[in-house]
């Protein structure tokens, strides 16, 4: 398998509410600013990584509470409690205008890179809240992948090991705090693009971002350098 071209995305990069739907979120400023409204720190980290890796970056900055671009059509979490009660035609208009464009852009970009380079690595950058309910998530980074896909598993394991050597204070886990084979954009693209598509989701703890609109440059540099090393060898199973 050739060394894959790299594509970065950030599905939950902002909490913007389109003007047409602002009345739905009146008085919900605190919720929109929370992890339910977006992934704090993720867009800032994705931008630094794209610069460090000299890779294209596609982002969605509309709040996930409108329609979650990392959820498939028909998924129970696609719409939030604010948009699920809308008439079917209005929900479809949201999908057509604010959900489908990002997913189509990512699919087209990944397919183009795959056609030109023979393989593509899609790195989707997200963040997670360090405490969910009453449960602390004792980790800093998560590398999500489909364990049934050997090339993804090999890359994730190599990246984790290299990160441990380069930054031993970072607590890195695989397929945590979520399962990499669960519903998501990468899962959908695996079905569409086949085995030459590699999808890895990088989950960073929001505790790493004191300012949710900024990211530590040394963290981005470490992630970029270690990803280059992990992906520099053959990814055959």
222 belongs to a structural domain: yes
pTM of the model: 0.96
Domain membership of residue 36 as a residue range: 5-231
| Band (237; pLDDT cuts 50, 70, 90) | very low
62 belongs to a structural domain: yes
59 belongs to a structural domain: yes
Nearest of 203, 107, 102 to residue 159 by alpha carbon: 203
pLDDT tens sequence across 183-232: 999 999 999 999 999 999 999 999 999 999 999 999 999 999 999 999 87
Q: Residue 134: pLDDT above 90?
A: no
161 belongs to a structural domain: yes
237 belongs to a structural domain: no
C-alpha dihedral (199, 205, 206, 208), degrees to nearest 10: -110
What CATH number does the domain containing 223 carry? 3.40.630.40
98 belongs to a structural domain: yes
Q: What is the pLDDT of residue 1?
A: 62
236 belongs to a structural domain: no
CA 121 to centroid of chain Cα atoms: 13
Q: What is the pLDDT of residue 133?
A: 79
Q: How many domains does the chain have?
A: 1
pLDDT tens sequence across 157-189: 999 999 999 999 999 999 999 999 999 999 999
194 belongs to a structural domain: yes
């Amino acid at each position: 398998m050739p060394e894959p071209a790299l594509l970065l995305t950030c599905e939950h990069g902002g909490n913007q509410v389109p003007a047409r739907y602002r009345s739905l979120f009146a008085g919900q400023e605190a919720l929109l600013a929370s992890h339910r409204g977006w992934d704090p720190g993720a867009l800032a980290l994705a931008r630094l990584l794209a610069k460090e890796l000299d890779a294209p970056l596609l982002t969605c900055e509309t709040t996930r509470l409108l329609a979650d671009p990392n959820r498939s059509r028909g998924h129970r979490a696609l719409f939030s409690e604010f948009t699920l009660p809308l008439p079917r035609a209005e929900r479809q208009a949201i999908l057509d205008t604010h959900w489908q464009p990002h997913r189509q852009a990512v699919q087209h970009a990944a397919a183009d890179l795959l056609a030109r380079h023979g393989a593509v690595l899609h790195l989707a950058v997200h963040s997670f809240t360090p405490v969910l309910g009453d449960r602390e998530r004792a980790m800093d980074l998560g590398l999500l992948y489909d364990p049934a896909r050997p090339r993804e598993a090999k890359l994730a394991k190599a990246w984790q090991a290299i990160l441990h050597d380069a930054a031993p204070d970072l607590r890195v886990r695989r397929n945590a705090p979520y399962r990499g084979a669960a519903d998501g954009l990468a899962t959908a693209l695996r079905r569409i693009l086949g085995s030459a598509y590699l999808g890895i989701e990088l989950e960073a703890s929001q505790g790493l971002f004191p300012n949710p609109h900024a990211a530590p440059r040394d963290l981005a540099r470490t992630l970029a350098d270690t990803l280059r090393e992990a992906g520099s060898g053959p990814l055959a199973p």
